[in-house]
Homo-oligomer: A and B are copies of this chain.
Amino acid sequence: MHPHTLGIIGLGAVGGSIACRAARAGVARIVGWAHSTKDGAAAARAGVVSEIAHDLQGVARVADLIVLATPPTATLGLLQELAQPLRCRKVYCTDVMRVKAPIVRLADRLDLQSCFAGSHPLLDLSGSGFGAAAPDALESALVYVTPLPGGDEAGAEVADFWHRVIGAAPVTLSAERHDELLAWTGQLPRAVASALARVLAEWGPDGVTYGRGALEQTRLAPENRAAWADLFLMAREGLLEALDAMEQSLDELRVALSDGDRAALVRWLEKGAGWRGRFEP
């Protein structure tokens, strides 16, 4: 769908980027609302929103598509507040959380099959707030769209918005499958980056120059602790399974090293190198 009036709740790095691209795509009216008045003011000054609503219901009254671009726990609360106006006016709605089952299950309980589908744009923006918006990062970005059971039509409209208005590349799948995949490909790498950063903070040498290796390997350590604590908890089941596998993998290395078993070390290194070699550097 190409909305006439787009509502964007949250005008941080992700919400700001979406607003920017929607403005460029010629969406007639973009109504924003942000918990942070600073982000709201910055988005208005930049001309990427037509107006800032006084409250959430002010957005719900006028928009024909609402994007919740807010932190994880806030997003769940906002969807509850919006449920009635969404159902009554048949406004489409999506979110941008990195974990999808909790919000899709909530939307299902709230009977939003005909208007809600989850979204997860694969973005990796540095920093936070409207100042960190990077609209170009959305160009051809992969966006997972997760419809509710029986919500294929809303899923198609949301996917169409990402494709036609935002210029991203939507891929539709179930919220459960999404979360199964992302525990390995999204949460685990960030957990590993954080675990390594913790290790270097606690036991690593002080006052030395860290090479590109250590810095690159910890860049993903999430800055926003509160949001990621919530995401990790939402992704808990899959992430625990992935962490077990990671600990087992390190354990195999430790055993091969303790035993001084060179052949086992070569085999251990082989598998990861072979897998990684399938991708570009």
Closest to A236 in B: B257
Cβ contacts under 8 Å, A244 to chain B: 254
Query: In angstroms, how far is the closest chain B Cβ from the Cβ of A138?
Result: 14
Chain B contacts of A240 at CB under 8 A?
254, 257-258
Q: Which one, A45-53, A59-67, A154-162, A206-214, is touching chain B?
A: A206-214
Q: A240-B254, A272-B221 are in contact. Are A204 and B185 (CB under 8 A)?
A: yes
Cβ A279 vs Cβ B210 within 8 A: yes
Q: Is the CB of B202 within 8 A of A189?
A: no
- Residues of chain B with a CB closer than 8 A to A25's CB: none
In the bound complex, residues from chain B placing their C-beta under 8 Å from that of A209 are 122, 142
Question: With an 8 A cutoff between CB atoms, is A194 at the interface?
Answer: yes
Per the 8 Å Cβ criterion, residues 191-231 of A in contact with B are 191-205, 208-223, 225-226, 228-230
Q: Is A91 positioned at the interface, with any CB of B under 8 Å from its CB?
A: no
Give the residues in chain B near A273, CB-CB below 8 Å: 194, 197, 221-223, 225
Closest CB-CB distance, A74 to chain B, in whole Å? 15
Chain B residue nearest to A247 in the complex (CB): B250
Nearest Cβ in chain B — how far from A181, in angstroms?
5
Decide: A242 near B199, CB < 8 A? Known: A124-B213, A181-B208, A222-B269. Answer: yes
In the assembled complex, the Cα of A265 lies from the Cα of B226 at a distance in Å of: 9
Asked if A191 meets B253 with Cβ closer than 8 Å, knowing A211-B122, A218-B272, A219-B276, the reply is yes
> A32 to B214, alpha carbons, bound, how many Å?
33
Chain B neighbourhood of A251, CB < 8 A:
247
Contact across chains for B198 and A185 when beta carbons are under 8 A apart: no
Residues of B within 8 A of A239 (CB): 257
B233 engages A205 (CB within 8 Å)? no
Additional pairs, 14, CB under 8 Å, beyond known A142-B209, A184-B205, A185-B213: A122-B211, A124-B213, A181-B208, A189-B214, A189-B216, A197-B275, A198-B275, A217-B217, A218-B276, A219-B281, A223-B273, A226-B266, A247-B254, A250-B250
Which residues from chain A sit less than 8 Å from chain B, CB to CB?
A: 122, 124, 126, 142, 180-181, 184-186, 188-205, 208-223, 225-226, 228-230, 232-233, 236, 239-240, 242-247, 249-251, 253-254, 257-258, 260, 262, 265-266, 268-277, 279-281
Selected A-B contacts with CB under 8 Å, 29 pairs: A124-B213, A180-B205, A181-B205, A185-B208, A185-B214, A186-B214, A189-B196, A189-B214, A192-B192, A193-B272, A194-B272, A194-B273, A195-B249, A198-B268, A198-B275, A199-B249, A202-B245, A216-B219, A217-B217, A218-B272, A218-B276, A225-B270, A229-B265, A233-B257, A233-B265, A236-B260, A240-B254, A243-B254, A247-B250
